Amino acid sequence: MPYITKISAQKNNKDRVNIFLDEKYAFSVDMDVLVKFNLKKGKQLDELDVIEIQYGDDIKKGFNQALDYLSYRMRSIKEVKDHLKKKGVADSAVTEIIHMLKSYKYVDDREFAAAYVSTHRKTSGKGPDVLYKELQLKGIDEELIKEALSSFTFSEQVTAAVKHVEKVLKKGKKLSSKEMKQAIEQQLIRKGYSFDVINCALSETDYENDDDAEKEALYKHGEKAMRRYNYDGSYETKMKVKQFLFRKGFPLEMIDQYLDEER
C-alpha cells in the first residue's frame, strides 16, 4: 500500500499542497482537505482513500468557486448550480456544495426572491408579470415568488406605472390621443403590469390631447401621409390619406375637416 513520502506547498497557490506517494507526485489538495483527512508524511493510502480525498477536494474547489460567484451579488440556488456545472463540477459534488452553502446561509431562495423584487421594481420599474417570469427562469418556487411579489402592493404598482406613463409623454411625439393611449398600454404591458393597474395609471395621468394639440398632431401626420401617397386632391389619394390618419387614431370628423382645408 503506498504511503505519503512528501507534502510540498504549491508556489503559485499558498492554499494548496502537492501530495507525493512513494516519492512520486500523486495529486494536490486544498489545505482544508489536508487537515480534514489528516494527511501527513508516512500515512498509508489505498485506492479508495485517494478517491475519497480527491472527491473532498473537488467539493472544496467547487465551494470556493461558488463563493467567488456569490461575492458579486446574490444568486438563486439554480444560478449557482448552473455556474458550477459550467465549471465542470460533477453533479454529486454540486449537491454537496449546495447543501453546504445552505447550511452557512450563503444561498436562500426566499431572501433572493424578496431582494430581487425589491431591487428591480425600484431600479427598472418592472411590474409583477415580468418579475414573476424572471424569477421562474432563476428556478424560484412558485410559492416563494408569490410571497415576494405580495410586498409589491397595488397602489405601489400604480405609482410605478404612472412614472412610465410620464416618461412616454415626455418623449414629445406628436400622436393622437388614441395612439398615445395605445403606446402607453403597450409600454406598461411590456413592463409587466396588469390591465387593472394600467387603467388606474391612465386615469391618474393627463395623456389626452386638447383640441389644439390633437389638431397639431393631425397636421403633422397629415403632411407625412400626403408626401407618402403623393396627394394631388384626387379621390384615390384622398382616401389613402384618410385611412392613414384613421389608423393613427384621429376622429373622422377632424380628418375630413383637415382634408377639406387641403383642397
Asked whether residue 30 is domain-assigned, the answer is yes
Asked whether residue 12 is domain-assigned, the answer is yes
Task: Domain of residue 90: give its range.
Answer: 4-103
User: Average model confidence (pLDDT) for the chain?
Assistant: 89
Please check whether residues 71 and 145 belong to one and the same domain.
no
Q: Give the contacts of 199 (CB within 8 A, at least 6 positions apart).
A: none
Please check whether residues 84 and 17 belong to one and the same domain.
yes
Please check whether residues 10 and 97 belong to one and the same domain.
yes
- What pLDDT score does 262 carry? 65
Asked whether residue 225 is domain-assigned, the answer is yes
Q: How many residues does the chain have?
A: 263
- Assign 214 a pLDDT band (cuts: 50, 70, 90): low
Q: What is the DSSP string of the chain?
A: --BEEEEEE-SS-TTEEEEEETTEEEEEEEHHHHHHTT--TT-B--HHHHHHHHHHHHHHHHHHHHHHHHTTS---HHHHHHHHHHTT--HHHHHHHHHHHHHTTS--HHHHHHHHHHHHHHHT---HHHHHHHHHHTT--HHHHHHHHTTS-HHHHHHHHHHHHHHHHHT-----HHHHHHHHHHHHHHHT--HHHHHHHHHTS--S--HHHHHHHHHHHHHHHHHHTT--S-HHHHHHHHHHHHHTT--HHHHHHHHHHT-
Asked whether residue 124 is domain-assigned, the answer is yes
Looking at the structure of the chain, the number of domains it has is 3
Asked whether residue 219 is domain-assigned, the answer is yes
Asked whether residue 170 is domain-assigned, the answer is no
Please check whether residues 89 and 53 belong to one and the same domain.
yes
Asked whether residue 173 is domain-assigned, the answer is no
User: Mind listing the pLDDT tens digit for each residue in 234-255?
Assistant: 887 877 877 877 777 777 777 7
CATH number of the CATH domain containing 34: 1.10.10.10
Query: Between these two residues, 178 and 163, which has the higher pLDDT value?
Result: 163
Rounded to two decimals, the pTM is 0.74
Please check whether residues 231 and 263 belong to one and the same domain.
yes
- Assign 157 a pLDDT band (cuts: 50, 70, 90): very high
Asked whether residue 67 is domain-assigned, the answer is yes
Please check whether residues 94 and 130 belong to one and the same domain.
no
CATH number of the CATH domain containing 146: 1.10.10
Please check whether residues 30 and 121 belong to one and the same domain.
no
- What pLDDT score does 255 carry? 73
